Structure 1
Amino acid sequence: MKRFKKIVAIEPVSMVPSAEKRLHDYADEVEMYGDIPADADEIVRRIGDADAVLLSYTSTMTKEVIARCGNVRYIGMCCSLYSPESANVDIMYAGEHGITVTGIRDYGDEGVVEYAVSELVRCMHGFGGKAWFGEPSEMTGLKVGIVGLGKSGGMIADAMHFFGADIAYFARSEKADAGAKGYRFMPLGDLLERSDVVFCCLNKNTVLLHEAEFARLGQHKILFNTGLSPAWDEDAFARWIDGDNICFCDTEGALGGRRFLYHPNVRCMCVSTGRTQQAFVRLSNKVLDNIENYLNEA
């Protein structure tokens, strides 16, 4: 297996210590930074003559940055990579210049599912407040709608189904395995209208809920957003959340900023619920696997 001359992690990448040590198996030199670079010039300075770069989601490698780092031939994203358009690395430019970019997925979903179950149970039973339906309620028979049936959406659907909820979903296409479980594929508007609880589990920067969708969703509804960015048009959401509704998000980014952070109908944890010790182990292993696969094929 070939080796890199130098790997630089330009910011904290959430790898466990044992995995950081293993990076030395893949390079003659490894340099790890423990803070976030202030600007593009600092990113370029940190990369220097390195031929491999690691970064998380808090820094951005634009084409201008990549162009200034002539030795780089591998960029490892230690965070979720859903699509080139939503990535914090200019993947298209990198590819045009012979630079491989890898990312990871499905490392923090378990924590998100536990968060969703925990908050919904508290809401419906009235733990710490008023029960949503007026008296303590189970999930048995609850009409749950999943918008986006990817890995995390599928896991949330399975968890809700385990507790007896009636599951329907909207996705780009109908899923045979979901149908085998009894989950119903529905148009988005119909799904919103029939659901008591809606989970938006979409890729970053994917917006599906506009004025017409919130009108179909209606009142006295529970809305979860488990994505990295809002699944809604901000103004339409502002009008809907002022009604008899409640919205749960784990991070400020999923909510869309501080505008709604202290709204009485919003419950935002301001914590990434997928960032657990187990998730960091999964993240580390996937990052190392990507590096090893690249070097074996180089």
Structure 2
Amino acid sequence: MFKKLVAIEPVGLIPSAEKELYNFAKEVIMYDDIPLGSEEIAARIGDADAVLLSYTTTLDDNVIDKCRHLKYIGMCCSLYSPESANVDILYAQKHGIEVKGIRDYGDEGVVEYVISELVRCLHGFDQNPDGTRAQPWDGLPREITGLKAGIVGLGKLGGMIANGLRFFGAEITYFSRSEKPEAAAKGYQFLPLNELLSHNELIICSLNKNTVLLHEEQFRHLGNRKLLFNVGLSPAWDEKPFTQWLEGDNRCFCDSLGALGDEKFLRNPNVRCMQTSSGRTKQAFIRLSEKVLGNIKEFLNEGNGSHK
């Protein structure tokens, strides 16, 4: 059992999961706002031996160094790699602090977002400010059937989006760090990135945070009259060529501002951004809570913690 567990910001646990935290720590403190700066973060952690945080706060080496009692850091958000994390994982591990994150808790909502926005675009289900119906992408309503769709990053989420699009009849090709036999078994064809961009009308980027693959050369291959979705946590492109690409007859879709990259793009008529995370659903919070509690149980069952 931990001596003191602190959630330094809202972490998305459902009420029953918050109550269960008291089974793992003698003292539990839950903050309901986001700390402003490293000094406040360190002050909130204080002498705690366990901390929980979401994706909106960064635990860097300076903060970790000030919190000498820490033994466990629980990330209540996606952890794909140390390089993309909002916790300095390598520094924490070097000082004997366990860091555990979660994955694949909000993917279903993101798949629904992509299908929803794509259908609205192809059919013209959007509404203009004056109440009239928006024009469909092709002038006439159109199905997903036969749409050439390219997935950039065929991980768990990218694979789920590909499966969803295929269900509706899209033709799927993908680019990833390596070819995937399981994708080939489904009929998905691997293409080099530039060829993928040229070949497809719809491109969906599903990449780890801070991974940028679309540079000036890639936008040249992408060309005009294209639909581009980004479902990652940060832009998948360099800003300058992206800005130029938006001047053409193209459209970009992002659920969150983080994925879009800059508020100035919200005013662009070719950008559709909901400014919210489509993965933050009721079901996602349940899955998040189960995974966060599971990580704590695993850590303590391994014989860790201040007071067993």
The bucket for the TM-score relative to the shorter chain is over 0.9
Amino acid at match of 2:247: D
Q: What secondary structure, in the 3-state scheme, does the structure 2 residue paired with 1:291 have?
A: helix
Residue 247 (structure 2) pairs with residue 249 (structure 1): no
Residue 212 (structure 2) pairs with residue 214 (structure 1): no
Matches within 5 A, 1:104-143: 104-128=102-126, 129-143=134-148
Superimposed CA distance per residue, residues 82-104 of structure 1 (whole angstroms, 9 cap, x where no aligned partner)? 11111111101101000000101
Q: Distance in 2 between matches of 1:131 and 1:203?
A: 32
Partner of 2:13: 15
Q: What secondary structure, in the 3-state scheme, does the structure 2 residue paired with 1:5 have?
A: strand
Q: CA deviation at 1:36?
A: 0.7
Partner of 1:157: 162
Q: CA deviation at 1:126?
A: 1.0
Q: Distance in 1 between matches of 2:276 and 2:113?
A: 11
Superimposed CA distance per residue, residues 38-83 of structure 1 (whole angstroms, 9 cap, x where no aligned partner)? 1211111111111000001111111111111110000000011111
Superimposed CA distance per residue, residues 243-291 of structure 1 (whole angstroms, 9 cap, x where no aligned partner)? 0100000011100111211101000001110000100000000000000
Amino acid at match of 2:221: R
Amino acid at match of 2:42: V
Partner of 1:189: 194
Structure 2 portions without partners, runs of 5+: 127-133, 304-308
Partner of 1:37: 35
RMSD over aligned CA atoms reads 0.7
Residue 55 (structure 2) pairs with residue 50 (structure 1): no
Q: CA deviation at 1:206?
A: 0.3
Name the count of aligned residue pairs. Answer: 296
Residue 266 (structure 2) pairs with residue 261 (structure 1): yes
Choose 105-114 or 38-47, whichever is displaced more. Answer: 38-47
Identity %: 66
Q: Distance in 1 between matches of 2:42 and 2:214?
A: 39
Partner of 1:144: 149
Q: CA deviation at 1:227?
A: 0.3
Residue 273 (structure 2) pairs with residue 272 (structure 1): no
Q: Distance in 2 between matches of 1:257 and 1:113?
A: 23
Q: Distance in 2 between matches of 1:69 and 1:267?
A: 42
Q: 1:99 aligns with which of 75, 97, 100?
A: 97
Q: What secondary structure, in the 3-state scheme, does the structure 2 residue paired with 1:212 have?
A: helix
Q: Which runs of 4+ in 1 moved over 4 A?
A: none
Partner of 2:306: none
Q: What secondary structure, in the 3-state scheme, does the structure 2 residue paired with 1:261 have?
A: helix
Amino acid at match of 1:143: K
Partner of 2:84: 86
Q: Distance in 2 between matches of 1:133 and 1:176?
A: 35
Q: Distance in 2 between matches of 1:232 and 1:139?
A: 25
Q: Distance in 2 between matches of 1:34 and 1:278?
A: 21
Q: Distance in 2 between matches of 1:63 and 1:140?
A: 50
Partner of 2:129: none
Amino acid at match of 1:30: V
Residue 263 (structure 2) pairs with residue 238 (structure 1): no
Q: CA deviation at 1:162?
A: 0.1
Q: Distance in 2 between matches of 1:51 and 1:41?
A: 18
Partner of 1:202: 207
Structure 1 portions without partners, runs of 5+: none
